[in-house]
Structure 1
Amino acid sequence: MAQVVDKLSAVTEVEGGQFGIHTHAIDPVVEARVRRKLDMRLMPVLTLVYLFAFIDRSNAGNARVLGMGKDLELTGNRFNIGLSGFFVTYILLEVPANVLCKILGPKIWIPFLAISFGIITTCMSTMQNHQGFIAARVCLGIFEAGIMPGITYTLSCFYRRHELVSRVGLYSSVASASGAFGGLLASGFSQIPPWGIIHTWRTIFFFEGIISIALGVAAFFILPSAPNTASFLTEEERHVAVARITLDLRTSHIEKLKMKYVRRAIFNLNTVLISLASFCSLLTMNSMALFVPSILNAMGYSGIHSQLLSVPPYVWAALVCITVTLCSDRVHRRGIFIVSVMPVTLLGFILLLVDNMPLGVRYLALFFCLTGAFTASPMFVAWSVENSAGHMTRAIVAGTVVGFGNIGGLVAAWTYMLGDAPRYIRGHALNAAFSVLCTIIVALAMLHLHRVNKLKKLGAYNHRIEGKSEEEIRDLGHDHPEYLFTL
């Protein structure tokens, strides 16, 4: 580490400048090689961990239509209460979990979470009543709370701002892919002959939990602790990997947990607006993740057919998410893409609300419903992180946006009630309304960021660096007058 820091300081002295490293201090050929190695090392394992985290949280919807509801007597609101139990602990522990990720490091924290939620999922195969279902969902929320903000924070430690959204979009696209893949897994696992108490829907939890545990063990051996300790990089590449992040953050200083970083992360208009927009999109995303099989079942399809017919809409949503986030990174813009896809989701729910709509059109509407929410939701957390500077600040921001946003997940658990079948008017109308609200909030966030950037360029915030030491200036983070926000 000392050798890397010495080299970094040498670059700073040669290049000069108030903030350390400038763009031309980094060899673009070496940087491209570093980026490729990071992609090969980080993205597969983090994507798979997130895939099975999302499968494990949403497989209750698959298990329900395959007999779990009857076996556990999930009558009335019991199923919805169990779904809510997950989001209560999930929401409350987002920020503390990401602070622990910052303290312990991703190499320890991410594998620990994956192994833990895998164990909980495996144990869910032995549930005997609705009380056990509710308790298991609460425990699952505890260990999944740190996954999405933790992975996003991890990526922000290795990738530059303009590289972040496409990577977050790639791993988050499996949230929609999990609906397709999870439906296929559920259909396949449920056909395994009974052995002991494990049968039909129970095999879903058992085998998906085992896979999650195996991924957690693998992640421990694959994930690096930090750019400067990545053994798969050469010494020169480690130096460049550190320099890339230092350039973006304008400091190589690693902050400790202090109240000023908490205030900077949470109490600013950008975090507030993005958190509100994330609430809206995650309400819709989780509604679809949890209830698409039930919606299809209410259209008249059998349990197995509902699982299989849920696959194409989820595949479509994953492809849209990957395409949009790649385009977003290419042009370094976020908000305009979000306000472009959310109206598509609105159209889907409007079609579902129209009475006597042909069955084929209602099925097509599900493609539209998944398009916006499954694309916008991951972009929000990446957008908020890239507009924050400082490792601790980024960790807190990621936890805040995902935590507050998943209050929408808590609401989503109650959007589609058994008594509202088969048309589910209340659920469709609620999701349509929040799609509109999400679009409006994003437009306001874009206007706010544009205004702040304009004022910074005009020198309105230059007073923040007057009379301050070099260390104090480096510690300003995204409050620095030269730190421009991504729109």
Structure 2
Amino acid sequence: MSAEEKDFRSDNIEDVAAPDNLHHTAERGQYATDKYGRPLVQVDPKVEARLRTKIDLFVVPTVSLLYLFCFIDRANIGNARLAGFEKELGMKGYDYNIVLSIFYISYILFEIPSNIMCKWIGPGWFLPGLSLCFGLCSLGTAFVKTKAQACGVRFLLGVFEAGLMPGIAYYLSRWYRRSELAFRLSLYIVMAPLAGAFGGLLASGILSLDHVGSLHSWKMIFGVEGIITIGLAVISFFTLTDSPATARWLTQEERDLAIARVKSERVAATELLDGMDWKKLLRGVMNPVTLSTAFVFLLNNVTVQGLAVFAPTIVKSIYPDKSVTMQQLYTVPPYVVGAFFTVLIPTISWVTDRRQILMVACCPLVMVGYIMFLASSDYHVRYGATFLVASSLFALGPITNAQVSANVVSDTSRSSAIGLNVMCGNIGGLISTWSFLPWDAPDYHIGNGLNLATSSLVLIVSMLTLLWMWRDNKKRERRSIEEELAGLSQQEIQDLDWKHPAFRWRP
């Protein structure tokens, strides 16, 4: 550290344990870092821990439940398939794959626009509104009578579900530090594997009933789960709030601390929530780490969505003589294992403040699992392979979203970066709908081979990106901050985002 840097730091650091200084730093227009990107705020760790726990209790449970039923409403078509969905609607050949694909087309198209709308309207209203709409779509699926009607409802389901995953990730980035975010993202993304487990249990329980109103067989699955989603959406209108500044359940001192601690990690930022700016939106999309991570999430989601939608079909090929209820129940244990690791790996990320190396570490078990699928025809070996696949597959959801969030600066660029990451992930979901084809049953060499290839490519891309981040950070160390910022206004400096000379990639 140069003498100039030391003088600047000693002159500008504030002890924000005092409420007045904390409020000053939280105000719009006040820097929370020096020109070298170091925080100007110091917080009592015990005070911050109490605030973090309070945020956890008020924010995370609601968004987690919403995402649980979002994923259930998306994947329950796999459970309905076992209960006669295809037969009653007269589907043949690739009709089922077409119905699945329709969902991902709208999901992909509305991903980024939806996240921009989330910033514009505010997550406190937008996320509950989305949940209410896709709950109504799930309920509507119970009343379809033709393939065309099923396609129409699934298209609308994709429109409304498109914004939930990136919207929640963006919403949580308003509340948590870089190191904390992956773990909090895992607490709602873990609902994806839990939805596979809980969805199978719930579907088997619903199918044990004779009827629900006028609904029978597979229609009961969509009807009951849709009604539950609608109820949760209505409750969330009253429990979610846009940001720390509007949280009625925080004191003024807690609001100031919540804002200041997040601002302190954003180089040259003078506000937590900046105005909508197309330049910053493009900064988020064109960020090299965002592009690399989004491609990794695309590859990963080929496998995630394939496992979610086709797990009941895979289990049926392994245990063809079991009852429908037992087949549903056999899908549960691998998801329970997956849920455990989906929280464990982001917990490691929280402790180490690392994400890229964990993306690399998630690949080997998935690769081994699909090698077992391809190399063995023994049913027990294949069922065991589903546990290996699920163990690290779902963890890339929170890790990748936390990684793109950690490697941009402004709130606006964060919204577009997360939107792009999830959009690319769902392009992978679209590909997955055509990876398990009817004529490839029961071994599904194409689907399993594709998933082995994608998991191998994730390993390669993640490793190359990690090496590039280390190399580029060394180059940035040699840049002159004073020379590059000379003559720039405060707004121009903020607009640099990740191009700011003091910014460093966070591996």
Instruction: Give the structure-1-normalised TM-score.
Output: 0.95
2:141 is matched with: 124
2:113 is matched with: 96
Tell me the CA shift for residue 6 of structure 1. 5.7
Tell me the CA shift for residue 153 of structure 1. 0.3
Q: Which runs of 5+ in 2 are unaligned?
A: 1-19
Residues 1:284 and 2:303 are matched in the alignment: yes
CA offsets 1:67-115 (integer angstroms, 9 cap, x no match) = 1111111211111001000100100111100001001111010000000
1:66 is matched with: 83
Q: Is the 8 A contact 1:334 1:383 kept in 2?
A: yes
Aligned pair in 2 of structure 1 residues 10, 268: CA closer, same or farther (>3 Å)? Answer: closer
Tell me the CA shift for residue 5 of structure 1. 9.2
Q: Is the 8 A contact 1:473 1:480 kept in 2?
A: yes
Q: Is the 8 A contact 2:440 2:446 kept in 1?
A: yes
1:471 is matched with: 491
CA offsets 1:292-336 (integer angstroms, 9 cap, x no match) = 100111122432222101100000001011001101111111122
Equivalence map 1:272-351=2 (5 Å)? 272-299=291-318, 300=320, 301-351=322-372
Instruction: Give the structure-2-normalised TM-score.
Output: 0.91
Aligned pair in 2 of structure 1 residues 478, 352: CA closer, same or farther (>3 Å)? Answer: same
Task: State the AA in 2 paired with 1:277.
Answer: V
CA distance in 2 between partners of 1:14 and 1:188 (Å): 55
> Greater shift after overlay, 247-256 or 444-453?
247-256
2:3 is matched with: none
Tell me the CA shift for residue 19 of structure 1. 8.0
Q: Secondary structure at the match of 1:351?
A: helix
1:377 is matched with: 397
Q: Is the 8 A contact 1:43 1:167 kept in 2?
A: yes
Q: Is the 8 A contact 2:297 2:422 kept in 1?
A: yes
Residues 1:394 and 2:411 are matched in the alignment: no
Tell me the CA shift for residue 30 of structure 1. 2.3
CA offsets 1:182-220 (integer angstroms, 9 cap, x no match) = 000000111122255401211110111111111111111
CA distance in 2 between partners of 1:459 and 1:17 (Å): 16
Q: Secondary structure at the match of 2:418?
A: helix
From 263, 275, 296, the counterpart of 1:246: 263
Q: Secondary structure at the match of 1:406?
A: helix
Q: Is the 8 A contact 1:352 1:428 kept in 2?
A: yes
Residues 1:482 and 2:499 are matched in the alignment: no
Task: State the AA in 1 paired with 2:141.
Answer: M
1:199 is matched with: 216
Task: State the AA in 2 paired with 1:283.
Answer: V
CA distance in 2 between partners of 1:433 and 1:416 (Å): 15
Aligned pair in 2 of structure 1 residues 194, 125: CA closer, same or farther (>3 Å)? Answer: same
Q: Is the 8 A contact 2:106 2:159 kept in 1?
A: yes
Aligned pair in 2 of structure 1 residues 25, 290: CA closer, same or farther (>3 Å)? Answer: same
Equivalence map 1:65-84=2 (5 Å)? 65-84=82-101
Q: Is the 8 A contact 1:455 1:461 kept in 2?
A: no
CA distance in 2 between partners of 1:244 and 1:23 (Å): 10
Aligned pair in 2 of structure 1 residues 310, 152: CA closer, same or farther (>3 Å)? Answer: same
CA distance in 2 between partners of 1:474 and 1:267 (Å): 17
Q: Is the 8 A contact 1:381 1:398 kept in 2?
A: yes
Q: Is the 8 A contact 2:108 2:162 kept in 1?
A: yes
Residues 1:217 and 2:238 are matched in the alignment: no
> Greater shift after overlay, 28-37 or 3-12?
3-12
> Greater shift after overlay, 167-176 or 247-256?
247-256
From 284, 289, 312, the counterpart of 1:265: 284
CA distance in 1 between partners of 2:207 and 2:33 (Å): 63
1:429 is matched with: 449
CA offsets 1:158-203 (integer angstroms, 9 cap, x no match) = 1111110111112111111110000000001111222554012111
Aligned pair in 2 of structure 1 residues 144, 10: CA closer, same or farther (>3 Å)? Answer: closer
Q: Is the 8 A contact 2:22 2:257 kept in 1?
A: no
Q: Secondary structure at the match of 1:126?
A: coil
2:11 is matched with: none
> Greater shift after overlay, 73-82 or 283-292?
73-82
CA offsets 1:357-404 (integer angstroms, 9 cap, x no match) = x32211100111222321113311221111111111000001011001
CA distance in 2 between partners of 1:204 and 1:232 (Å): 37
Tell me the CA shift for residue 21 of structure 1. 8.6
CA distance in 2 between partners of 1:192 and 1:177 (Å): 23
Tell me the CA shift for residue 128 of structure 1. 0.8
CA distance in 2 between partners of 1:421 and 1:21 (Å): 57
Q: Is the 8 A contact 2:80 2:218 kept in 1?
A: yes
Q: Which runs of 5+ in 1 are unaligned?
A: none
Aligned pair in 2 of structure 1 residues 73, 203: CA closer, same or farther (>3 Å)? Answer: same
CA distance in 1 between partners of 2:65 and 2:79 (Å): 20
Equivalence map 1:98-113=2 (5 Å)? 98-113=115-130
1:186 is matched with: 203
Task: State the AA in 2 paired with 1:336.
Answer: I
Q: Is the 8 A contact 2:36 2:502 kept in 1?
A: no
Task: State the AA in 1 paired with 2:270.
Answer: S
Aligned pair in 2 of structure 1 residues 400, 14: CA closer, same or farther (>3 Å)? Answer: closer
CA distance in 2 between partners of 1:73 and 1:396 (Å): 41
Q: Is the 8 A contact 1:266 1:396 kept in 2?
A: yes
CA distance in 2 between partners of 1:50 and 1:137 (Å): 17
CA distance in 2 between partners of 1:11 and 1:100 (Å): 22
2:388 is matched with: 368
Q: Is the 8 A contact 1:173 1:322 kept in 2?
A: yes
CA distance in 2 between partners of 1:378 and 1:394 (Å): 15
CA distance in 1 between partners of 2:43 and 2:385 (Å): 48
% identical equivalent positions: 36
> How many equivalent pairs are there?
484
CA distance in 2 between partners of 1:196 and 1:257 (Å): 47
> Greater shift after overlay, 314-323 or 447-456?
447-456
